[in-house]
Amino acid sequence: MATIKDVAKLAGVALSTASYALSGDSKVSPKTRAKVLEAARSLNYRKNGIAMDLKRSRTNTIALILTDLSGPYYSELIRSIQDVALAHGHDLIACSSMGERDSTAIKFLREKRVDGAVVLAHNIADDILLESAGERFPIIVMDRELTGDHLVNVLVDGEQGGYRATQYLIEAGHRSIAYISGPLNSYDNQQRYKGFQRAMHESGLSEKPKWRLSGGFVREGGYSATKMMIMQGELPTAVFYGNDEMAVGGMKAFEDHGISIPDEVSVIGFDDIELAGYANPPLTTVRQPKSEAGSLAGHLLFQMLDGESVDEQFKLGIELVERKSVRKREH
Amino acid sequence: MATIKDVAKLAGVALSTASYALSGDSKVSPKTRAKVLEAARSLNYRKNGIAMDLKRSRTNTIALILTDLSGPYYSELIRSIQDVALAHGHDLIACSSMGERDSTAIKFLREKRVDGAVVLAHNIADDILLESAGERFPIIVMDRELTGDHLVNVLVDGEQGGYRATQYLIEAGHRSIAYISGPLNSYDNQQRYKGFQRAMHESGLSEKPKWRLSGGFVREGGYSATKMMIMQGELPTAVFYGNDEMAVGGMKAFEDHGISIPDEVSVIGFDDIELAGYANPPLTTVRQPKSEAGSLAGHLLFQMLDGESVDEQFKLGIELVERKSVRKREH
DNA sequence: GTGAAAGCGCTAACAG
DNA sequence: CTGTTAGCGCTTTCAC
């Protein structure tokens, strides 16, 4: 691989002159520049980005840390972050946090291979984030409540979302409502559940312990949790699934048992994934402002990179998407 | 940010000793090592990955080049590549090729910020790929027919897929079949269409020019192409959509016009996206061996990185997924 | 305008 | 076992 040294030699100029010519600095004469460019072309010279980053102590790229590159992701969220990065002339790369303590994500965070990061990966420990963030390395955390030096928090108000969803069910006349939980240690799940509890409590309703099932936020889990509920004999009139994936699985379970939605059981989800509108019946759910959240995260990161100081936490509201999986009941 | 120099100074040892201690080299005494580690801890020292990469002239990471980080992607494919990378102790990062000639992807390719790449982005020009690939920088291209030095090709046989799909329709008794095309310049589309033509030709069938519509591989395009077909008055008994997205859009158009699938019109897609199984009716389609393709791509990349020579092109077969959108017809 | 030289932070001979 | 030293490839003062 040809280096700038080779180019300089072939062009018969000094190393620095070659560098200036290549980067288009105006102080090099057109004639010299042409000579250098020609030499570069003939050697098929490509600058080494790593050397440049090292010298500049800046990579001009930020990382998006995801649990798993293979998704499924909030593409709107990613797109909005990407747009902001591009607008600031920075590159965005995605890395996965799969693989525990030596995941790609952790390597990029600790070894400062980028200028900053947006984290969307619950499996990276708080302390790693806290110690990685620094003066020259801002981090935005989006999937949990965590703030610190050079580490700011952009959240969607899951508690409010859980509350709204539950309230919607209650307003539709439902009194016996089950919440199918995601992973118990998931921040998102906890928030949604908290909102559920608050709404139930305010209306003087209580949840049946036997309906406290968990589906791990995955479709299969929603399916089996629902199956278990069905086998237990007594059904609620409505079930609030901690996310849409589980709701889709749950609806399948009801269908398999000939239980009709929303006639016999109403269902509400959370997230508004693409599938939600295509489910049968289309799933009523809670939509998160993903683009706004991503955009905000991006902008904050660049403000921090520019040395501006920003608030340490932002919480965005949600919105209910009414479709056809909830039925109004008379009493 | 503390450097290894600071650590060495604080620990009262030479630079190299600190380096050895930090990397766990056995030749440093336990006592010295402890001293160094302690110094590193107290300074909150983190090695600079960029400096290391430069020194080593190797990054131990490979890039996955995608058109757009916000997907939608073949998550199975990505996952399988990821698994292979992990198994080889390498990191995988994803970069987007959005932004033309100065996209993140091109920067990573040209400036050799990684050790190799898997490309799944039709918007990166052939010549960039050709000139970026090199002795120490293998590239696997998966979305077009392109081979070259240190550049190998992993493809799924779209022609065969198009042939199978069409043949399936013909075997089910269909004689008037339309092909709704993706972008005319798309390699995938061309292959599928070629397969369609071959099957039609073999059975002595011909396509009606007025059914030659394009939907650009997007849902909305499938919708409007279908609408146009409906407005033209005469309907085929079966339509083969160049991909599932368009098929989903097309089914919506038929539904909007009260045309029942598969009773009045049969529909077949291509890809087997997640939605396909959830469409109404569930969509019969052609499934690509995504995991196998990804896995193969990953393995080939590492073989090349290890200096082994490999064939320059691989073409994988496809499989038909029978669901409920195609009806058998009697004659 | 152009060139010589000093590093960015790290690793890896090599010598002691 | 520990320390000295020479770079990896590039940018950027600072003289000329």
The pair of structure tokens assigned to A162 is 């859980």
Name the percent of chain A lying above pLDDT 70. Answer: 99
Closest approach of B267 to chain A, Cα-based (Å): 17
Name the residue with tokens 């840390």: A65
**Domain count across chain B:** 3
Decide if B154 contacts B142 (C-beta within 8 A).
yes
Name the percent of chain B lying above pLDDT 90. Answer: 89
Decide if B210 contacts B240 (C-beta within 8 A).
no
A163-176 tens-digit pLDDT: 999 999 999 999 99
Q: Where are the alpha helices (DSSP H) in B111-157?
A: 126-132
In angstroms, the CA B149 to CA B112 distance is 16
Residue B302 has pLDDT above 70, yes or no: yes
In angstroms, the CA B209 to CA B223 distance is 19
A150 and A169 together in one domain: no
In angstroms, the CA A201 to CA A139 distance is 37
Decide if B23 contacts B7 (C-beta within 8 A).
no
A147 and A295 together in one domain: yes
Per-residue model confidence (pLDDT) at position A91: 96
Name the residue with tokens 């005494």: B29
Estimate the crossing angle of helix A4-11 against helix A15-22, to 10 degrees.
100
Name the residue with tokens 């590193």: B40
Per-residue model confidence (pLDDT) at position B72: 67
Q: What is the mean pLDDT of chain A?
A: 94
Residue B137 has pLDDT above 80, yes or no: yes
Residue A299 has pLDDT above 80, yes or no: yes
A266 and A246 together in one domain: yes
Bigger pLDDT: B127 or B69?
A: B127
Query: What confidence category does residue B25 fall into, taking pLDDT thresholds of 50, 70 and 90?
Result: confident
Bigger pLDDT: B193 or A135?
A: B193
Helix (H) or strand (E) holding B252: helix B244-256
Query: What confidence category does residue B327 fall into, taking pLDDT thresholds of 50, 70 and 90?
Result: very high
Query: How buried is residue A135: exposed, middle or buried, by Cβ count under 10 Å (0-12/13-18/19+)?
Result: exposed
Domain-embedded: residue B82: yes
A39 and A81 together in one domain: no
Query: What confidence category does residue A99 fall into, taking pLDDT thresholds of 50, 70 and 90?
Result: confident
Residue of B nearest to A58 (CA): B50
Cβ neighbours of B47 in A, within 8 Å:
110-111
Residue of A nearest to B73 (CA): A70
Decide if B199 contacts B163 (C-beta within 8 A).
yes
Domain-embedded: residue A51: no
Residues 6+ apart with CB under 8 A from B155: B142, B145, B313, B314, B315, B316
Residue of B nearest to A81 (CA): B70
Domain-embedded: residue B230: yes
Tell me the pairing of strands B91-96 and A91-96.
Answer: antiparallel
For residues A162, A168, A174 and A175, what is the CA-based torsion angle, rounded to 10 degrees? 50
A234 and A278 together in one domain: yes
B234 and B164 together in one domain: yes
**Is the Cβ atom of A54 within 7 Å of strand D at any atom?**
yes
Decide if A138 contacts A305 (C-beta within 8 A).
yes
Name the residue with tokens 């309907």: B235
Decide if A213 contacts A229 (C-beta within 8 A).
yes
A57-77 tens-digit pLDDT: 999 999 999 998 887 667 889
Helix (H) or strand (E) holding A187: helix A187-202
Residue A252 has pLDDT above 70, yes or no: yes
Per-residue model confidence (pLDDT) at position A70: 80
Decide if A138 contacts A304 (C-beta within 8 A).
yes
Query: What confidence category does residue B71 fall into, taking pLDDT thresholds of 50, 70 and 90?
Result: confident
In angstroms, the CA B166 to CA B162 distance is 6
Q: Where are the alpha helices (DSSP H) in A44-179?
A: 49-56, 75-87, 104-110, 126-132, 158-171
B166 and B285 together in one domain: yes
DSSP line for A116-146: -EEEE-TTS-HHHHHHH-BTTB-EEE-SS--
Of B59, B71, B248, the CB nearest to A75: B71
The SS3 of residue B285 is strand
B176 and B267 together in one domain: yes
The pair of structure tokens assigned to A238 is 């409505």
Tell me the pairing of strands A213-214 and A177-181.
Answer: parallel
The pair of structure tokens assigned to B275 is 């939605």
The pair of structure tokens assigned to B51 is 């400096």
Whether the CA torsion A142, A146, A149, A155 is positive or negative: it is positive
* Nucleotide nearest the Cα atom of A14 (by C1'): C3
Query: How buried is residue B129: exposed, middle or buried, by Cβ count under 10 Å (0-12/13-18/19+)?
Result: buried
Most distant CA atoms of chain B, gap in Å = 92
Q: What is the mean pLDDT of residues A274-291?
A: 93
B151 and B294 together in one domain: yes
Q: Which of B43, B92, B96 best probes binding to A when mutated, by most A CB atoms within 10 angstroms? A: B96
Domain that holds residue A118: 58-155+290-316
Domain-embedded: residue B307: yes
B130 and B10 together in one domain: no
Pairwise CB contact (< 8 Å): B112 & A82? no
Bigger pLDDT: B210 or B101?
A: B210
B17 and B138 together in one domain: no
The length of chain A is 331
Cβ neighbours of B275 in A, within 8 Å:
274-275, 278
Decide if B303 contacts B264 (C-beta within 8 A).
no
Domain-embedded: residue B251: yes
- Calculate Rg over the CA atoms of chain B: 26
Q: What is the mean pLDDT of chain B?
A: 94
Extended beta strands in B135-183, E state: 139-141, 151-156, 177-181
Residue B9 has pLDDT above 80, yes or no: yes
Q: What is the CATH number of the domain that holds B88?
A: 3.40.50.2300
In angstroms, the CA A45 to CA A37 distance is 9
The SS3 of residue B286 is strand
A29-51 tens-digit pLDDT: 999 999 999 999 999 999 999 99
Decide if A128 contacts A109 (C-beta within 8 A).
yes
Domain-embedded: residue B53: no
Per-residue model confidence (pLDDT) at position B103: 93
Nearest Cα neighbor of A175 from A250, A265, A251, A236 is: A236
Residue B331 has pLDDT above 80, yes or no: no
Tell me the pairing of strands A238-241 and A91-96.
Answer: unpaired
Cβ neighbours of A51 in B, within 8 Å:
54
Closest approach of A175 to chain B, Cα-based (Å): 31
Domain-embedded: residue B329: no
A176 and A282 together in one domain: yes
CA distance from start to end of chain A:
79
Domain-embedded: residue B321: no
Q: Which of B3, B43, B48, B50 best probes binding to A when mutated, by most A CB atoms within 10 angstroms? A: B50
Query: What confidence category does residue B27 fall into, taking pLDDT thresholds of 50, 70 and 90?
Result: confident
In angstroms, the CA A266 to CA A284 distance is 9
In angstroms, the CA A259 to CA B275 distance is 23
Residue A139 has pLDDT above 90, yes or no: yes
Per-residue model confidence (pLDDT) at position B223: 97
**Is the Cβ atom of B22 within 7 Å of strand C at any atom?**
yes
**pTM of this structure:** 0.89
Decide if A104 contacts A141 (C-beta within 8 A).
no
Name the residue with tokens 């009523």: A284
The SS3 of residue B96 is strand
Residue B283 has pLDDT above 70, yes or no: yes
Per-residue model confidence (pLDDT) at position B101: 79
Q: What is the mean pLDDT of residues A11-31?
A: 93
